[in-house]
Structure formats: structure tokens, C-alpha cells
Structure 1
């Protein structure tokens, strides 16, 4: 059965997502910027009410992923501050050429140890996703969140399927997690096509400001459904 991670931009949304059946929470602030580091109090206020893992976004600002020295220090400090309460982290640093900055990411992964780290959708900004996959894997990340370098994960199905196949061949397997426009209307076809084992969604429907419990339940139902019972995969 595939799992569902829900991105939450408010503590109340995280509780809603958990109660609706999310298998994991990504906690962040500032949805308009694609997610930034949330206040520590958000995590401490919900930790006792949520029994699934909560991964914290470590991102000092919106925009590009080539951070200044001061911003890099902010990221290191945030990892240390959240460590007593978080179940993992989500971050990613690129260099000026939009390639994975292996050395800086290795240092953050080292600081986060033993908590797992996900490389977020900075991955989709890289010029070569397959080179980026090798760099992210070598840096020690446990997962990659990606839309397959497309505007949405459904549009990036082909690359996502290739990345999932690559992940199956790694010695210390890194999970490829489709994310970007994942909803109940397309998650079944993406699951059948990519064979991914975990999906990422905000669960927010058009015109809404908060996640829909019914939408999350619908996605969970489809992820529990065996692939042989799903509709034919979408073409790419």
C-alpha cells in the first residue's frame, strides 16, 4: 500500500490532515512561497496530538535555492533547534548553476543525523534530474520530492517513473515521492504509472485555503487500492 504525505501550512491543518488519515506531515509556513521554515511553537503545539511522523521544512526564504552564507547558517541553526521535536527534515541547496550543492547538503544531513532528510522540489530546478538523483543519493538523503521537473507531477510521470526505477537499484534505497498538483483525480493513474510508494499533496482543492479532509480520505482510499484494480495509467 502506498503512503500519503500531506504538506501543512498551519498547525490546525496538520491536525486535520492527521485525523483524515495522512501517513506523514510536512510542516511548513508560507504556502505562497512554496514553503519556508515554520515557527518552532507550531511543532511543539501539535506534537502530542499527532502520532505520525512530522517532517519540518528547513528553508529560510522563498525564491531560488542558492543560499547566502548567512542563510546557510540559519538552516544549520534551525536543524539544531527543531531536533528534539522533529521526526525528519525537508530541504535542498543548489549552487549558482542550479546543480545540487553536494558539500553543503552533506553537512546539513550530518547535522540532522539520525533523523531522515528529504530533498525537496529544488530538485525540479536542476538541469539534469538523473545527475541530481545521484548527487542527492550520495549526500545521504532518504527521499526526493519531485514533480519530475514538470509543472505538475502528472505531467512529469515519465521522469518520475525512471527515477523510481533508479531508486530501486540503489544500495541504500532512496524514496522518490511524486508531488506537485497531486489530488484524488490523478493519484491513481500516477501510482499505476510511476509505481511510487509514497505521494505528496497539500490536499487543498481549488478555491480553498485549507486542506480538505474528504480529499485526503479519497487519496488514501485510492492508494490502498491494488494497482490491478485501478484505471489504466494516463499517457505521457
Structure 2
């Protein structure tokens, strides 16, 4: 089926799927994703996608597309030159016609870098903004939550500071209660069809984030041997996207 002919199905909770390839983008659309987070190198937690990938996604996606802005792996403490680079990548997202960006910057002590985030929010004016999992590193979640609200972020992508959103369920519940609808808390990190009801049960959850991935088929041995592919690489699985989307469909009480 051509992705141009795929139309999103309405559900009670929005599904965002992160993808790092054109094939993954097509699978996310086919499976019924409501929004796409575009990136590269998901095996590293996601890095900034190329300008060409942004343009392709904007051209073929029937649903909103946001670009992750993370210039390298590792922490989220960025130099002046790296912040300049992130600003230019935000402009590439705007030029491509994307709907939003996903950003996050830490201070060396892991608190949110309010100065840098203010600068990037200004650069992203007109684009919707998600605060990514740099939030999960902060020493005080209540302080960081209020800072994110003050900065004007639409949502926080979070695992509740744990290795997975399921393990961080108690913190996610606390964040939802404290935010009182002032910002969306979007669970991410190991979210799938089997455990998503736990997050939907939290008061205020209206969107979830998942990779919906499966192990990739083996490539030619020489490709892996020369370091061009990882033996544990994964790909977006349309059936997992479809299953997660189905789990979000709650029968109407009407």
C-alpha cells in the first residue's frame, strides 16, 4: 500500500513512533502512527536526522513529523558550537516543513540548562516543541517540570527517570498529578501493546511514545564484519505499531 493513501485512525490516546530510516517511516505510517519522531541512529538513543530525511518525511507523511535535535551520542551538555549546530538543524526542520522539534540540554550537574533551552526555543519559534529525555537525568523532577512549563514546552518525553517507563510508572503518575494538565507527560521507553494500559490508566496521559521495533534480518556477513551494521540492529515493525495503536483504542462509553 502506498503511504500516500494511508490515513490515521482516531484513538483515545495519540501514538508517536520514533523512526531512523525511510523504511521505518513507511512502517510507522502503515501501522497507524499519529505522529512521527524522526531521527537517526536509534541504537544510540536517537540522533539528528539528515536534511534529506526531513524533506522526504515531510513529503510522504500524512501525520505530523517532529525532528529530534541531538548532534551526538553521550550526554546533553553542549558547547557553544554544538548549540550553534542545533540551531541550524532546527532551521533545517523548519525549511523542510516539519511540524515540530524535540530538544533537551543539560548543565554539567544534569539540571536543565535554562539559558540554552531558552535560546533553542527562540530558534524554534513557530514549531511545536517536545522536551526529550534529558529530563530523565535531572536531580529534581518537580523543579524541572515547572521549568519545562515556564519555557513553553508542549510535552515532556519521559520514562520517569527509570530504565523503562514501566519501571518509572510511579514517577510518571506523580508528574501527571503535579502538572495538572499544564503540560503533557508522554511516557516513552519500552512502551508496547502489552504494557500501554498501565500508562493510559494514569490521569492526564493523552499520548505515548514507542519505537515498535523488532530485530533486523541478518545482512551479508561482510557488511557486519566491516562494521557497517550491528549484529543487534533493529527496525520499525509495522505489526508492532498496529498492535500498539489497537491497544490505544478504547471503546466509547456512548
Output the TM-score relative to the length of structure 2.
0.84
Which residue does 1:181 correspond to in 2?
Answer: 190
Q: Give the direction of change, closer, same or farther, for the CA distance of 1:194–1:159 in structure 2 (3 Å limit).
A: farther
- Following the alignment from structure 1 to structure 2, what is the Cα–Cα distance between the partners of residues 167 and 224? 25
Of residues 199, 206, 228 in structure 2, which corresponds to 1:190? 199
Residue 50 of structure 1: how far off its partner (Å): 0.8
1:180-236 Cα offsets, whole Å, 9 max, x none, are 0001121112211454110000001367721221111111111112599xxxxxxxx
Counterpart contact for 2:164–2:188, Cα < 8 Å = yes
Counterpart contact for 1:15–1:46, Cα < 8 Å = no
Q: Of the two, which has the highest radius of gyration?
A: 2
- Following the alignment from structure 2 to structure 1, what is the Cα–Cα distance between the partners of residues 165 and 181? 22
Which residue does 1:224 correspond to in 2?
Answer: 249
Which residue does 2:87 correspond to in 1?
Answer: 76
Which residue does 2:228 correspond to in 1?
Answer: none
Matching of residues 92-131 of structure 1 within 5 Å: 92-131=104-143
Counterpart contact for 1:161–1:195, Cα < 8 Å = no
Which residue does 1:161 correspond to in 2?
Answer: 173
Give the count of matched residue pairs.
225
Residue 113 of structure 1: how far off its partner (Å): 1.1
Counterpart contact for 1:79–1:112, Cα < 8 Å = yes
1:53-92 Cα offsets, whole Å, 9 max, x none, are 0000111101001111111110111111221221100010
Residue 107 of structure 1: how far off its partner (Å): 1.2
Deviates more, 1:208-217 or 1:39-48: 208-217
1:137-183 Cα offsets, whole Å, 9 max, x none, are 1112111000000110011111111111222253xxx1110000001
Which residue does 1:3 correspond to in 2?
Answer: 14
- Following the alignment from structure 1 to structure 2, what is the Cα–Cα distance between the partners of residues 69 and 150? 29
- Following the alignment from structure 1 to structure 2, what is the Cα–Cα distance between the partners of residues 117 and 67? 19
Runs of 5+ unmatched residues, structure 1: 229-236
Q: Give the direction of change, closer, same or farther, for the CA distance of 1:130–1:206 in structure 2 (3 Å limit).
A: farther
Which residue does 1:33 correspond to in 2?
Answer: 44
- Following the alignment from structure 1 to structure 2, what is the Cα–Cα distance between the partners of residues 213 and 169? 31
Which residue does 1:234 correspond to in 2?
Answer: none
Runs of 4+ in 1 over 3 A off after TM superposition: 205-208
- Following the alignment from structure 1 to structure 2, what is the Cα–Cα distance between the partners of residues 86 and 126? 29
| Secondary structure of residue in 1 paired with 2:235 | coil
Output the TM-score relative to the length of structure 1.
0.90
Counterpart contact for 2:57–2:65, Cα < 8 Å = no
| Secondary structure of residue in 2 paired with 1:205 | strand
